[in-house]
Amino acid sequence: MEYLLTDEQKMAREMAGKFADKELKPIADRLDREHTHSPEVLKALAEMGVLGVAVPEEYGGGGMDYVSYALIVAEISRGCGGTGTIVAAHNSLYCYPMLKFGTEEQKQRFLVPCASGASIGCYALTESDAGSDPAAMRTTARLDGDSWVINGEKKFITSGNIADYCVFAASTDRSKGYKGISQFVCDLRETPGFKVGRVEEKLGINASGTAELIFEDARIPKENILGEQGAGLRQMLETLDSGRISIAAQALGIGRAVLEESIEYAKARTQFGKPIAEFQAIQWKIADMATQLDAAELLIVRAAWLEDHGLPFEKEAAMAKMFASDTAMQAAIEGVQILGGYGYCKDYPMERHMRDVKITQIYEGTNEIQRLVIARNLLGKRK
């Protein structure tokens, strides 16, 4: 792997890795138990440029590439899966569409505060009846003079409970289906008619809040639309393609934590007079974990490299996300098995890793959807 990386990319990974070991691992259990994030951690990450990794410095970001970004997300997630979720969603789902589709004025107003880490952004697409099928979206945006009037409810929004800014999708013409979807940006603190609804009780990634966003005749300025009216689906798909690389990296990071803890435990735990690491059954589990995680990392770096070089990466991002999340989930299952009864107890972090990693098979496109994306690219896209 080392021969594929530049010195700058290695430095980015090392920086994030040291932070994960020193600052995140010691508090990850508490954040999970208390269902909260750490403002101090977010402040420190902002100072490191991690809340705007691939955003140019002129907009307050770190000015790094997407390979570095993927490596950083993996290391942060190795320390705390929930914190990795906050970092990934903020960078990929908020900063990316603002940088890619925003006007210069929009970037100055809505991107700079988030890329610098002074504020947190979120992305609102999913609804109770619209997840994998965005055409079923019920949130509407109606132009009324100089304002868009927004009505609808968004579900399962990462960081929705703490975000200051939001990129969201709404239908500007229901009769056109997915061709009538547009994207908007708003300052949630200055949007009358907006409120945070239910904050979900989840299986894992509890250091990251997941909230319902409610718009009831909420008004935002006319100029807050991103790009052209009706361009929302195309923008969403491009955003999700990029975001899937970060979810793959998150899964990889959690998988790496599982591997590290499996090895440490196997060396220390004795049965029948010797460490269980000497038993072939345990050795095979660890060997499979390491091999598959390395393969996942190569898929991730390939997808990020393609993005960095402006080449098509939809298929490669889907492959990386699908394989890395499936691999990390299987690693977590085996990690619990290696620890036996201890793996099932909260005295060890292994059960948390298993809970945290499951979501990577679901959000930003389920792995069933990833397989459809891959097949569509291989067999030819439908008209």
Helix ranges (H only) for the chain are 7-19, 25-34, 39-47, 66-79, 81-88, 96-101, 104-106, 112-115, 232-268, 280-308, 314-339, 350-358, 367-379
> Cα angle at 292 between 290 and 294, to 5 degrees?
70
Axis crossing angle, helix 280-308 with helix 314-339, rounded to the nearest 10: 160
- Contact yes or no for 303/335 (Cβ under 8 A): no
Residues 262 and 260: their CA atoms lie apart, in Å, by 6
Q: Give every CB contact of residue 286 below 8 A, 6+ residues apart in sequence.
A: 259, 262, 263, 266, 277, 338
The two tokens of residue 56 are 């140019």
| CA-to-CA dists, residue 6 to 24, 73, 102, 294, 302, angstroms | 26, 17, 30, 18, 14
Residue position matching structure tokens 């013409």: 173
CB 252 within 8 A of CB 72: no
Catalytic residues: 364
SS3 state of residue 41: helix
Tokens of 355: 């809970």
Distances (CA, A) of 183 to 16, 63, 93: 32, 25, 12
Helix (H, G, I), strand (E, B) or coil at 271: strand
Q: Exposed/middle/buried for 224, CB within 10 Å: 0-12, 13-18, 19+?
A: buried
Phi, psi of 172 (to 5 degrees): -95, -10
